[in-house]
């Protein structure tokens, strides 16, 4: 069974807002990320196991990682820094960003397909 997510993604006129609530705020060491829409290069849904690794993102800083269970928080260093908020979902929302502190957000939301459609640029 996959844990119910407390990761919510919303869109405003000029940004995409990722909000974490409940224990996910603790696991990820963040409560909110606000990404300017003009810096988003792609939004896609991928199988969690098919998300391509980014070189240099093995370093967790800060975050929570329990292999096979959760991967939450900041990984890597600039320019390859990523933010992950994922349990064991089959599919995840992947947001690629250019010119922002994180180059990619990998998010396990309740419905990544509808989230991708709703926030699409």
pLDDT tens digits along 73-108: 888 887 888 999 888 889 999 999 999 999 999 999
- What one-character-per-residue DSSP string does 82-120 give? EEEEESS-SEEEEEEESSSS-SEEEE--S-HHHHHHHH-
**pTM of the predicted structure, to 2 decimals:** 0.85
CA distance 121 to 105: 15
């Amino acid at each position: 069974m996959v844990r119910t997510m407390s990761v919510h993604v919303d869109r405003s006129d000029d940004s995409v807002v990722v909000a974490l609530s409940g224990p996910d705020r603790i696991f990820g060491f963040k409560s909110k990320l606000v990404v300017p829409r003009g810096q988003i290069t792609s939004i896609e849904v991928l199988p969690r196991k098919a998300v391509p690794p980014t070189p240099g993102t093995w370093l967790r800083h800060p975050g929570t990682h329990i292999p096979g269970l959760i991967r939450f928080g900041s990984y890597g260093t600039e320019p390859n820094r990523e933010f992950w908020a994922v349990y064991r979902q089959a599919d995840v929302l992947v947001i690629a960003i250019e010119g922002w502190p994180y180059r990619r957000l990998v998010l396990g939301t309740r419905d990544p397909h509808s989230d991708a459609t709703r926030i699409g640029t």
